[in-house]
Amino acid sequence: TIGGPTATQHELFKAQWLKKVPIIGAVVKASERAAAVGMNTLRNGIFDTTVEKWEGQNRSDADYQALADMANISTGVAIGKFMKDYGHLLNAPFFSFGYNVSRFQLIGKGFTSLIDITKETGSRLAGKDFRASPASKLLAGELVLFVMAGLTALAIAEAAGAEVEKDPRSSDFGKVKMGRMRVDVWAGFQQISAMVVQLAMGQGKGLRSGEIYTKDRLTTVLRYVQGKLSPVVGLGVELLSKKTFLGEPLPDRVSTPEGAIGYALGKIAPLVLEDVVDAIRFQGMGAGVAAFPLAFHGIGVSTFEPSPLDNLTEMRDHYSQKMFGNDWGSVGPDFQEGLENFYPQLAEQERVSRFERRNAEFNGARQREAGRAVEKALSKKIRREMEGLGVTVGGLSRTLNKGWRLNGKFIRSIRMI
């Protein structure tokens, strides 16, 4: 760390127990040395190269301190008195706490730099003398290059046939989508941008269904914090809440001792290994081969387990392509009904999918929300009539009354009116 003691240990290697394991311990120690030396070399390189360019320009001590701060936070080291006093304590419950704080600090300093540069331009036009600091100009330029590089990577991936999520309400915003695998090239900034948009709009987008729904702002913040917990603490939160990070029920295998142990080991395994194993399990060997070099070089890679609804969608498209040469959504309701009659496994998988959706707490909340939205759109007279009804109405999941809920088909028909 620039400006810190040379004996300061990198936060990613605070844990010591793995170094005591035979054979593996030697590899971990070598990895720690290589990472620490590599990151310090990078920081010093940024600082020394810039200092050489500043020679003879009469820079102040404040300029050099600002440069050191920029080199630290841009390479994942948070600065400030709070981090010096409490950072080492917060590394226990959180995964790489200082790195996550540095992302917010870099965003803050980046905005400040852009404002200073704008003020300098305005002052020149107004004939006034205001100059942005050299470090501010350097940081602003680096951030612009970073964003351009990220957008270029997304454009190349999309041109190659991958999908890129462009809706900022989705947790996949700005990620490359290849089947069930997601690739995040934004070095920790993607989660922050998605959280800010969801907080501002109060909405989210279902990762699997694509449905837009109202998202509680407190839940949004807590979900972000949960995603930054250390593997052990994060596992404890999941087991206590009986929900995964995505808010879904824990897998059935967790109910058995063997399954629970396997689930726990998967959560605390090294991130690169976990990313590659998940890619192979849920999308095949080819995805694992693609995931390894990305994860090894620090690019975020995640692959989610297929749900019954995912399996149903794949089965429908498979049989529809086999019979008619088109996807399920392109063949029309009559041919869809014919496929369901010809392939009874489709109907069985649909029952499994419906059972899962009925037992998902967040789905029930969205149904109730849809019911309230439609109810508010009706006149007071009709609502009074509805409250006195005690009959089953087509398109509704149960008897129509004050607490009614709508099924998906009826919701879509209402939205089209």
Torsion 338-339-342-346 (CA) sign: negative
Q: Are residues 279 and 317 in the same domain?
A: no
Is the same domain home to 287 and 406? no
Q: Is the pLDDT of residue 349 over 60?
A: yes
Inform me whether the pLDDT recorded for 361 exceeds 50.
no
Residues in the chain: 417
Indicate if the pLDDT at residue 65 is higher than 50: yes
pLDDT(278) > 70 = yes
Query: Would residue 390 count as lying in a domain?
Result: yes
Reported as a pLDDT band with limits 50, 70 and 90, residue 386 is: low
Residues 194, 265 within the same domain: yes
Q: What is the pLDDT of residue 182?
A: 92
Lowest mean pLDDT among 163-177, 335-349, 377-391: 377-391
Q: Please report whether residue 385 resides in a domain.
A: yes
Q: pLDDT-based confidence at 388, cuts 50/70/90? A: low
Same domain, 278 and 335: no
Reference 154, options 173, 140, 168; nearest CA is 173
Beta bridge partners of 300: 184
pLDDT above 90 coverage of the chain, percent = 18
> pTM of the predicted model, to two decimals?
0.69
SS3 (DSSP) at 172: coil
> Cβ of 203: how many Cβ atoms within 10 Å?
16
Residue 368 is assigned to a structural domain of this protein = no
Residues 125, 217 within the same domain = no
- Whether 404 has a pLDDT exceeding 70, the answer reads no
State the Cα–Cα distance between residues 113 and 384, nearest whole angstrom.
Answer: 58
Residue found under tokens 């029952």? 351
Pick from 28, 38, 26: nearest CA to 297: 38
Q: Distance between CA atoms of 12 and 197, rounded to whole angstroms?
A: 29
Backbone φ and ψ for 185, nearest 5 degrees, come out as -100, 10
Torsion of CA 335, 341, 342, 345, to 10 degrees: 120
Query: Which runs of E-coded beta strand occur in 206-340?
Result: 212-214, 300-303
b/e code 309-324 from CB counts within 10 Å (16+ = b)? bbebbebbeebbeeee
DSSP for 294-329 reads: HHHTT-EEEEPPPPHHHHHHHHHHHHHHHHHSS-GG
pLDDT of residue 108: 92
Q: What is the pLDDT of residues 200-251, one digit of tens each?
A: 999 888 776 677 888 889 888 988 998 888 888 888 888 888 887 766 677 7
Domain that holds residue 267: 163-305
For residue 156, being part of any structural domain is answered with no
**Same structural domain, 234 and 342:** no
Please give the residue that has the higher pLDDT: either 272 or 188. Answer: 188
Query: Across all residues in the chain, what is the average pLDDT?
Result: 80
The pLDDT score that the predictor gives to residue 148 is 94
Coil/strand/helix, residue 165: coil
On whether both 311 and 278 belong to a single domain, the answer is no
Answer whether residue 396 is part of any domain. Answer: yes
213 occurs within a structural domain: yes
The span from the CA of 188 to the CA of 101, in Å, is 10
pLDDT in tens, 152-165: 999 999 999 899 99
The answer to whether position 92 is within a domain reads: yes
On whether both 267 and 180 belong to a single domain, the answer is: yes
How many domains in the chain?
4
104 shares its domain with 43: yes
HSE value, Cβ hemisphere, 13 Å, CA-based, for 413: 8
pLDDT tens-digit profile of 82-110? 998 988 888 888 888 999 999 999 999 99
Owner of token pair 């109202």: 214
Q: Closest by alpha carbon to 37, among 91, 74, 1, 87?
A: 1
End-to-end CA distance of the chain: 61
Tell me which of 21-35, 226-240, 288-302 is least confident. 21-35
Residue 14 has pLDDT above 60, yes or no: no
Per-residue pLDDT at 7: 43
Contact 178, 162 (CB under 8 A): yes
Q: Is the pLDDT of residue 25 over 80?
A: no
- Whether residue 408 lies inside any domain: the answer is yes
